[in-house]
Structure 1
Amino acid sequence: MEASSISNKLFEQLNFRGEKQKVISSNIANINTPAYKTKDLIFEDELNNNLDSTLKMKLTSSKHMSSLGTNLSNTNPKLVDVKGLEEQNDGNNVNLDTQMSEMSKNKILFDAIQSSIKRDSKLFRSVIESSAKN
């Protein structure tokens, strides 16, 4: 059972952030591996690519925007090599400062999503509890 219609999307993003953390950790672990190329997990680009083709909103007023909607079923993250980074003599292009920054950003987003899920669940629980009293 979902607490709200957005719950699935929040859980998808939470799973994505967990997987992204693994990719960042792998990059840091391979900082001294010759010829290792920095990897990234891309979700937002896939979402943006699908905005025009799959997301449609019902227009009930001439003032509504027409380019948004709700169908996000084809937005799987992709693991890609990051291009254009400066390489060391051994061919490795992992930058520790960049990866640590990405890890912090990912942690903040993970915590925000987790907080949203908790808030959504509390709201759902309070609705159930108040309806049970009647």
Structure 2
Amino acid sequence: MKPSSVTDTLFNQLNFRGDRQKVISSNIANINTPGYKTKELVFESELKKASSPSLQMYKTNPMHLSSSDNISNPNQKHLVEVKGLEEQNDGNNVNLDAQMSEMSKNKVIFDALQTAIKKDSRLFRSVIESSAKN
């Protein structure tokens, strides 16, 4: 039993933020690696939003599959190379200031998610405790 309907979303976001922290740490660790390109972890749904306008698929027959049937998991994560960053002479494009800023932002969101999960759990626990008293 889960505390509320948003619990799964909170935990998915928490996992995403943990994985994103690993990617940012990897970028920072490879700051002196020649030819290394900055990586970023994004949700599949964010990739679809950012991509060029897609062609609309129309069902002309009820037996056709809809385009939403092809989506296995909209919350699936993908590791992508960040394009358009300034490169150093060795081909590396990691910017330490930008990565540290992203790491700080990610930590703030991670902490907020943890707090939301704790509050959600406390509320659920208080409902169970009060119903047990009756």
Q: TM-score, normalised by structure 1?
A: 0.79
Between Structure 1 and Structure 2, how many residues are aligned? 113
**Cα displacement (A) at 1:77:** 1.3
Aligned-pair identity in percent equals 70
| SS across alignment from 1:79 | strand
Q: 1:2 corresponds to which letter in structure 2?
A: K
Q: Distance in 2 between matches of 1:26 and 1:75?
A: 22
Question: What corresponds to 2:94 in structure 1?
Answer: 94
> Which structure is richer in relative contact order (CA contacts within 8 A, separation 6 or more)?
2
Q: Are residues 30 and 77 of structure 1, via their aligned partners in 2, closer, same or farther at CA, if it must alter by over 3 Å?
A: same
Unmatched segments (≥5 aa) in structure 2: 51-72
Question: What corresponds to 1:45 in structure 2?
Answer: 46
Unmatched segments (≥5 aa) in structure 1: 50-72
**Cα displacement (A) at 1:21:** 0.2
Question: What corresponds to 1:24 in structure 2?
Answer: 24
Please report the RMSD computed on the Cα atoms of aligned residues, expressed in angstroms.
Answer: 1.9
Residues 86-125 of structure 1 correspond to what in structure 2 (within 5 A)?
Answer: 86-125=86-125
| SS across alignment from 1:15 | helix
Larger radius of gyration: 2
Q: Distance in 2 between matches of 1:103 and 1:113?
A: 15
Q: 1:97 corresponds to which letter in structure 2?
A: D
Q: 1:81 corresponds to which letter in structure 2?
A: E
Q: Distance in 2 between matches of 1:46 and 1:127?
A: 39
**Cα displacement (A) at 1:95:** 0.1
Q: 2:123 corresponds to which letter in structure 1?
A: L
Q: Distance in 1 between matches of 2:115 and 2:32?
A: 36
